[in-house]
């Protein structure tokens, strides 16, 4: 079985990040700090040879991935493979809503008032399910819908024909990073707070087994 090192980066800061709004499948541009977040991630990873690079097809992830690859000095691939599989959770009618209000609406029927409360008492998957329930249109992704999509992304990496020990860059989103860490982190990490923009985590995929080497560095 092929062992693959996945360097997981959250995209750089966007305007919706500043405004504390759910972004999901919506797009807002990287701020000047967001571009710098991407450059700093690139500097940290400049000596890693990436056999492949993947990212969400949303602009903030594509631009972050490209900045990181442009900074690379280890003869890595020049362009990321973009795929909708790696998108952020879709928040349905809560796209663009203030985060605190959206998660209050999701948690309040269950006696919980925030994303942190929901995740502490239950899980990120529960937060997804409850937000879909709270969405008047029920378009927000629940956990089953989200993982059906994300699992296709993980299979895309696994089946990319990479050599054993390959290094892969994966640029994605805050809730997606948290979701992957919750699923594969064996309970070792604080998943109640979103990872920093431009932060780095490392996952190791070995056949069907995925482990987390570090998170939010």
Residue 11 bears catalytic tag: yes
Q: In Å, what is the CA distance from 126 to each residue of 95, 101, 148, 167, 188? A: 18, 17, 16, 32, 19
Q: How far is C-alpha 206 from the geometric centre of its chain's CA atoms?
A: 20
Contacts (Cβ under 8 Å, ≥6 apart) of 63? 11, 12, 30, 35, 38
The Cα–Cα gap between 83 and 75 comes to 23
Tokens for 137? Answer: 């249109």
Residue 88 bears catalytic tag: yes
Query: Could you please report the per-residue DSSP string of 29-50?
Result: -B-HHHHHHHHHHHHHTTTSPP
Per the listing, tokens 């990181």 go with 68
Tokens for 165? Answer: 């020990």
The Cα–Cα gap between 95 and 118 comes to 19
The Cα–Cα gap between 6 and 17 comes to 25
The Cα–Cα gap between 148 and 4 comes to 21
List 63, 88, 89, 141, catalytic entry: 88
List 11, 89, 95, 173, catalytic entry: 11
* Nearest Cα residue to 11 out of 30, 27, 32: 30
Known catalytic residues are 11, 88
């Amino acid at each position: 079985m092929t062992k693959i090192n996945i360097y997981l980066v959250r995209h750089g800061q966007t305007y919706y990040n500043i405004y504390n709004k759910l972004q999901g499948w919506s797009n807002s541009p990287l701020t000047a700090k967001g571009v710098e977040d991407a450059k700093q991630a690139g500097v940290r990873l400049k000596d890693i040879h990436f056999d492949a690079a993947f990212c969400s097809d949303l602009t903030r992830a594509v631009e972050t991935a490209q900045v990181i690859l442009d900074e690379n000095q280890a003869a890595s691939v020049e362009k990321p493979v973009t795929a909708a599989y790696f998108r952020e959770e879709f928040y349905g009618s809560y796209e663009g809503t203030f985060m605190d209000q959206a998660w209050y609406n999701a948690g309040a029927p269950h006696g919980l008032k925030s994303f942190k409360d929901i995740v502490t008492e239950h899980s990120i998957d529960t937060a997804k399910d409850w937000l879909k329930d709270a969405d008047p249109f029920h378009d927000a992704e629940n956990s089953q819908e989200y993982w059906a999509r994300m699992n296709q992304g993980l299979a895309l990496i696994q089946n990319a024909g990479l050599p054993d020990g390959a290094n892969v860059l994966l640029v994605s989103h805050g809730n997606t990073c948290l979701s992957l860490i919750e699923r594969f982190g064996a309970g070792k990490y604080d998943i109640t707070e979103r990872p920093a923009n431009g932060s780095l985590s490392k996952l190791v995929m070995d056949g069907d087994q995925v482990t987390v080497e570090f998170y939010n560095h």
